[in-house]
Amino acid sequence: MEDVKEEPSQSHGQDDENEIVTENTAFVHGEPPQDASGPPKVDSEVEILHEKVTRQIIKEGNGQKPSKYSTCFLHYRGWAESTQHKFEDTWHEQQPLEMVLGKEKKEMTGLAIGVSSMKSGERALLHVGWELGYGKEGSFSFPNVPPMADLLYEVELIGFDETKEGKARGDMTVEERIGAADRRKMDGNALFKDDKLEEAMQQYEMAIAYMGDDFMFQLFGKYRDMALAVKNPCHLNMAACLIKLKRYEEAIGQCSMVLAEDENNVKAMFRRGKARAELGQTDAAREDFLKARKYAPQDKAIARELRLLAEHDKAIYQKQKEFYKGIFGPRPEPEPKRTNWLILLWQWLVSLFYRIIRRERVKAD
């Protein structure tokens, strides 16, 4: 199914003015992080950052590197090198890690050294010696890391905030966290309009990181409404980026997060329906579009998607009809058998021979 540009809709007006409008934006292609059972295979040059830390770049980043006391937001996967056991995966948990450089936990010292060498958007493979990881004893709780285990990290630096005092999210007031997230969202919107989708998603992820589950769980009343007014548009805009990057499964996940908070969100239903349609999940896509139409009956984009699904179903039906017609159609008429005159002559001679013999026997009797 080809992508259809979304049109402005009156029914979508409940979103704030900073919400992304997705009309007339070209597709670009990106790749999600590797998700194999083991560490990624990287051929780039090995850079020595420390006696116990090396780095290999998987994807180049952009801009400056974070300085000491920067609040960094990152995704990472961690493996014990000897056993290839994966002990942590923030991508899977859909929750970025917040790290204030210079104030990191002792077991993350090596990881922090690697992160301090990276640019926003960069993805790298880090090798960290056990001395700068979980040490001689390892960890037997969570995460589960063997004693004296050298570590491998696949890390992506989403972005960072430069703060002289290294103020972490937990030290901010509710208003400060919501304000920081809103600024990230607006930065993401500006990047989206310039077709810089990967950079835009970095900003949205950082905004969402400020609105983590632990934070949202504590909010109620007007503060929760304020936080959701920032958080949900970020998820929706992430979904818009991911659809354009053809990363449909991830887009579905972003929309589902919004629907978990706001089950009647039309944009979440619509974008999840588009992603499902692209994956060939036509029944699920139709269900999303029909529910969206219930709340936005005049929306032309929803009507168009439903029409495309109907045309798709009709084309499939015609193909199936032709296929089964070939299998269960009328039986062909049998071709008339050709007469073999030699066989008929032979049969007549044999019959004549037996009659002559029978007549001779009768005479003998």
High-pLDDT (> 70) share of the chain, %: 82
Domain hosting 86: range is 47-161
Does residue 28 sit within a domain? no
First to last CA, the chain: 93
What are the two backbone dihedrals, phi and then psi, of residue 20, each rounded to the nearest 5 degrees?
-70, 140
Shared domain check, 179 and 297: yes
Of the candidates 183, 187, 181, the one whose C-alpha atom is nearest the C-alpha of residue 200 is 187
Pair (89, 192) in one structural domain: no
- For the cut 80, the answer to whether the pLDDT of residue 169 exceeds it is no
Tell which wins on pLDDT, 72 or 335: 72
What's the rounded mean pLDDT across residues 156-182? 79
- Could you say which DSSP state residue 26 is in? -
pLDDT of residue 25: 32
Q: Cα separation of 94 and 96, whole Å?
A: 7
Q: Are both 219 and 140 inside the same structural domain? A: no
For residue 223, the domain's CATH number is 1.25.40.10
Q: What is the pLDDT of residue 138?
A: 92
140 inside domain: yes
Q: What is the CA radius of gyration of the chain?
A: 34
Tell me: do 153 and 217 sit in the same domain: no
- Name the pLDDT band for 339 (thresholds 50, 70, 90): low
State how far the Cα of 31 lies from the Cα of 25, in Å rounded to an integer.
19
Mean pLDDT of 274-299: 94
How much is the pLDDT for 326? 60
Q: Is residue 286's pLDDT more than 90?
A: yes
What phi, psi does 125 have (nearest 5°)? -105, 120
Convert the pLDDT of each residue in 67-124 to its tens digit: 888 889 899 999 999 999 999 999 887 778 888 898 899 999 999 999 999 998 899 9
Q: Is the same domain home to 72 and 189? A: no
Residue 139 sits in the same domain as residue 258 = no
CA-CA distance, 171 to 323, in Å (whole number)? 66
At 31 the pLDDT is: 45
Are residues 190 and 108 located together in one domain of the fold? no
3-state secondary structure of 107: helix
Same structural domain, 124 and 201: no
Answer with the one of 311, 333, 354 that is the final residue of a domain: 311
For the ranges 211-220, 263-272, 334-343, the lowest mean pLDDT is seen at 334-343
Residue 331, pLDDT > 50, answer yes
CB atoms within 10 A of CB 262: 14
| pLDDT(277) > 60 | yes
Please say which residue of 161, 182, 206 terminates a domain.
161
**145 and 246 part of one domain:** no
How many independent structural domains does the chain possess?
2
Residue at 13 is within a domain: no
The model's pTM: 0.62
